[in-house]
Copies of this chain bind each other. A is one copy, B any other.
Amino acid sequence: METVWSALVDPHRRALLDLLREGPRAVGELAGELGLSQPMTSKHLRVLREADLVRVRTQAQRRIYTIAPDRMAELDAWLAPYRRLWNDRLDALGRHLDDDDDDRKET
């Protein structure tokens, strides 16, 4: 769990995950799209790998990285009890003000 937090705190690693959310990619593609050097990309991917946030499969010389969202569910579980707090707060605001009324939960 702490590994997940320390992996996600870095903006580059979150950007990597955002890219991988659209589909599996090789290291070179990720580096190119983020404007990141290849060694740094590999290092960041290693951190994500050791946090079980991504998986890798080998295809010729390329390493194809895939997102593995299970551990992010843990983060969501941590966040869950707080979600109630800000929902209540939005409810309270919505009762007093009319500008924020609909669509406050479940994207």
| A interface residues, Cβ below 8 angstroms from B | 2, 5-6, 8-9, 11, 14, 17, 21, 67, 69-70, 72-73, 75-76, 78-83, 85-86, 89, 102-103, 105-107
Chain copies in the assembled complex: 2
Smallest CB separation, A16 vs chain B (Å): 13
Known contacts A6-B9, A103-B106; 9 further A-B pairs (Cβ under 8 A): A5-B9, A17-B82, A67-B85, A69-B85, A72-B79, A72-B82, A73-B83, A75-B79, A80-B107
Please give, as numbers and ranges, the residues of chain B lying within 8 Å of A72 by CB-CB distance.
Answer: 79, 82, 86
How near does chain B come to A53, taking the closest CB pair, in angstroms?
10
Q: Which residues of B contact A8 (CB under 8 A)?
A: 5, 9
- A102's partner among B69, B73, B89, B106 (CB-CB below 8 A) is B106
26 contacts between A and B (CB under 8 A): A2-B11, A5-B8, A5-B11, A6-B9, A8-B9, A9-B9, A17-B82, A21-B82, A21-B85, A67-B85, A69-B82, A69-B85, A69-B86, A69-B89, A70-B86, A72-B82, A72-B86, A73-B83, A73-B86, A75-B79, A76-B79, A79-B79, A80-B105, A80-B107, A102-B106, A103-B106
